[in-house]
Amino acid sequence: MADFIRRERARSAEITVELAETMTDANSFLTAADLERLAHEPSSVNRAATAEKIAFAFGTGKLTDQERELAVAIFDILCRDAEVLVRRKLAESLKYHADLPHRIAQQIAFDIAEVAAPMLRHSIVLTDEDLISVIGRCSADHAQSIAQRTYLSGEVTSALVATNDESVVTTLLMNKDAIVSEATYHLIVDTFGGVPRIMDQVSMRAALPFGVIERIVTLVTDMARQRIVSHYGMQPSFVDNLMTHSREHLLLTTALSDATPEEMEDVVRKMHADSVLTPTLVLRALCLGNFVFAAMAMARMAGLPYGNARELLLDPGRRGGDQLYERCNFPPQYKGVFKGVMSLARWYIYTGAKRERGPFQNRVHRWGAETLGVPQNLIGFEQMITKLLTSSVPIGEKKKTH
């Protein structure tokens, strides 16, 4: 090892003397003293400082071709410096250099994690193939650094998930600029479905595929079901009924609450094809004030164009809504809930705009609590909807509350 260090320093001395001879410009970023210090300096701190200065000069674009060639030769040697401090400072100084030779970036990327981290997080010189190779051959700390890159392709994120490292996957999911394919999302759910913090991060990602959303909602409610049945000794059939309503509520208040009309139409189409568009889901959507989803769903179920279904639903004279309800073949037991909610919508001229949803939900909450004969402050909004939809006695139409 000592012989290796002596040989490297001798080689460094030769190169730095050659580079010093080219530094004749008085305004040069490097001086002969800098290079002499790099060649013979026993202190790693001073070598690191000089390495930083050479890297800075390299990044200015003001070096001649000969100077750049010699600077790269010095980088080659510094990449093998025995001191971590020197290599780390070099990596930190070169991480943003877009014209850094690929072999230098690669050499740093495969160094120990402490040295490689700046290059793995920031260098655009590294290719997807480089990153995937590092993930496969190096440590979880290397993968952790890669997961923090400003941009990550679907191929790289798939390799990160394949590490099966909880910390790496959590970091990846927090990276909003990482592209995650639907197949990779499913792999995350397969591997980490029982890890709440990872499922929370998945649920907060933008534009989740509907199939992934369904799996997350099902996992959450299934885990809750197991705890409730085992802890409270409730009948599984009763809990299953509650979980079905809970799943529908969670779906409407997460994935579909801020979806665009185009995204919502895609979801409705898939749900209808899978036969999971239910009357209770539509009624719950109406209670929540999501009339766009409700109208799209009823249009599919009734076999009508969306515009026609929406017009019938919002008919000021009630008859249109009743006709649409019958055409969807909804059970009579939910008719009172439907009429009560639509009566509130007509009375308060509810348009379905997002800014109106909060006040509308408060009115539905108050109406539902009065209908059930329960003080509003003693029943949650989502709980109230479930009780209305699971009541053994059909809900009669209630007078409007002001």
Same domain? 82 vs 187: no
- Mean pLDDT computed over every residue of the chain: 84
CB atoms within 10 A of CB 72: 16
Tens digit of each residue's pLDDT (9 = 90 or more) over 171-197: 999 999 999 999 999 999 889 988 888
Same domain, 293 and 379: yes
pLDDT digits (tens, 9 = 90+) for 44-79: 887 888 888 888 888 888 888 888 888 888 898 899
Whole-number pLDDT of residue 4: 40
Please classify residue 303 by burial: count the beta carbons closer than 10 Å to its beta carbon, then call 0-12 exposed, 13-18 middle and 19+ buried: exposed
Per the model's pLDDT, the better-predicted residue between 295 and 378 turns out to be: 295
In this structure, is residue 209 part of a structural domain?
no
Which of 140, 168, 192 lies at the terminal end of a domain, its last residue? 192
DSSP conformation letters of 16-78 = HHHHHHH---TT-SS-HHHHHHHHH---HHHHHHHHHHHHHHHHHT-S-HHHHHHHHHHHHHH
Considering only 100-104, 191-195, 229-233, 364-368, which range has the smallest mean pLDDT?
A: 229-233
Residue 293: phi and psi, rounded to 5, are -60, -45
- Residue 203 covered by a domain: no
From 91, 115, 139, the end of a domain falls on 115
Is the same domain home to 157 and 79? Answer: no
295 and 390 housed in the same domain: yes
Q: Which amino acid is at 339?
A: K
- Displacement of CA 121 from its chain's centroid (Å): 18
Nearest of 100, 84, 96 to residue 121 by alpha carbon: 96
Does a structural domain hold residue 210? no
The answer to whether residue 350 is domain-embedded is yes
For residue 154, give the amino acid letter.
G
Domain count within the chain: 3
pLDDT digits (tens, 9 = 90+) for 78-113: 998 889 999 999 999 999 999 999 999 999 999 999
Looking at the predicted structure, is the pLDDT value of residue 255 above 90?
A: no
Residues 42 and 145 in one domain: no
Average pLDDT over residues 133-161: 97
Rg, C-alpha atoms of the chain? 32
Q: In the listed set 68, 93, 115, which residue is the last one of a domain according to the structure?
A: 115
For the stretch 294-353, pLDDT in tens is 999 999 999 999 999 999 999 988 899 999 999 999 999 999 999 999 999 999 999 888
Beta bridge partners of 173: none
State what percent of residues in the chain have pLDDT above 70. 80
- The amino acid sitting at 124 is I
Is residue 208 one of the residues assigned to a domain? no
